[in-house]
Amino acid sequence: MPVAPTLVKTTYREAVRAAMQEALERDDRVFLMGEDVGAYGGCYAVSLGLLEEFGPERIRDTPLSESAFVGAGIGAALAGMRPIVEVMTVNFSLLALDQILNNAATILHMSGGQFNVPLVIRMATGAGRQLAAQHSHSLEGWYAHIPGIRVLTPATVEDARGMLWPALMDPDPVLIFENALLYNLEGEIAEDAGPVSIDQAIVRHSGTDITLITYGGSLGKTLQAAKELQRDGIGAEVIDLRTLRPLDMGTVLASVRKTNRALIVDEGWRSGGISAEITTRLVEEAFYDLDAPVARVCSEEVPIPYAKHMEEAAIPQVPKIVAAAREVMGFDE
């Protein structure tokens, strides 16, 4: 019989740090750069201790210019390095959007396939920390619109630990969105945990009545909603997308064809978001399998508020998910 792996307790933050530490040890081409990643240990303490272990050549503090250091990361990747660029928050990544969209995502095409950009950009995303509108939005759906990049949204300690190395080995740019509310998330992973898939969605909870599709910071709320629905006799299957580009629609479609109902939970805005894309693909590819219209629970169409009660009201919460699922099922409230 196979021997069960030894499990160790860790946090999402520690899992990301361990992934970077292992990558830095395994490959001399890997280095980390970004604002406050060195002496300060990272805005969310993710890189704490790495400067002392690997030195300033490989753990590089940068000026406060996202365009400059993302551009430097692109240049380093073109020169054969494997840079990990940390952007403090997704909102600030818009200052580097020219570099990400017009350079990193297009150089392979513009060079006729001659030059790859093996660049990894990590950034915090999501609301719930009372950091107001300029630090709290979920824009990963925007980036999933761009051909030429891969968009990852690790929602568990296992994925936080295991997605970085495959991302570094990808010959094209990879953006990793880490929901900031997850950094304190605790869990158990195998002591010898290794890489995980960056291609496939995964079923996190099995059910036969309705498919709940989500990713990142909304996974925990969606799983909690599934437990509450179970008490009502509703079997909810929860799909963790994990990767927003390319979308693994095969896993989603297999679930929806089993349950015949779908609800998408997305912390991004409803208009033009990733939830709209998934809805359209379901209509295109599984219309006759649906017994009810596809439903969505998204953030309200407002800048994320600072006040705690307003911020909580603006983003998906368990009661909203439960109510939406019950409506899809045709249950009276």
- Cα angle vertex 317, ends 311, 321, to 5°? 145
Is residue 176 a part of any domain in this protein? yes
133 and 13 belong to one structural domain: yes
pLDDT of residue 147: 97
172 and 273 belong to one structural domain: no
The candidate with the shortest Cα–Cα distance to 237, out of 259, 267, 220, 218, is: 259
CA-to-CA separations, 206 to 151, 203, 216, 235, 326, in angstroms, rounded: 25, 7, 18, 8, 17
Is residue 196 a part of any domain in this protein? no
Supply the residues annotated as catalytic: 66, 135
The amino acid occupying position 79 is A
User: Which of 137, 160, 190 represents a domain boundary (last residue)?
Assistant: 190
Is residue 311 a part of any domain in this protein? yes
pLDDT of residue 333: 53
Q: What is the model's pTM?
A: 0.96
| Complete edge-to-edge strand list for the sheet that includes strand 82-87 | 59-61, 30-34, 82-87, 120-125, 174-179, 150-152, 243-245
Helix (H, G, I), strand (E, B) or coil at 179: strand
The number of folded domains in the chain is 2
- Give the separation between CA 166 and CA 305, rounded to whole angstroms: 36
pLDDT of residue 59: 98
Contact 253, 201 (CB under 8 A): no
32 and 112 belong to one structural domain: yes
pLDDT of residue 311: 93
pLDDT of residue 4: 76
Length of the chain: 333
User: Which of 142, 168, 190 represents a domain boundary (last residue)?
Assistant: 190
What CATH code is carried by the domain that includes residue 301?
3.40.50.920
- Domain residues for 260? 202-329
The candidate with the shortest Cα–Cα distance to 19, out of 171, 199, 156, 200, is: 156
* pLDDT tens, per residue, the chain with 333 residues: 667 788 889 999 999 999 999 999 999 999 999 999 999 999 999 999 999 999 999 999 999 999 999 999 999 999 999 999 999 999 999 999 999 999 999 999 999 999 999 999 999 999 988 899 999 999 999 999 999 999 999 999 999 999 999 999 999 999 999 999 999 999 999 988 889 999 999 999 999 999 999 999 999 999 999 999 999 999 999 999 999 999 999 999 999 999 999 999 999 999 999 999 999 999 999 999 999 999 999 999 999 999 999 999 999 999 999 999 999 999 865
Backbone angles phi, psi at 238, to 5 degrees: -110, 120
Q: Please give the structure tokens belonging to residue 249.
A: 């629609």
305 and 230 belong to one structural domain: yes
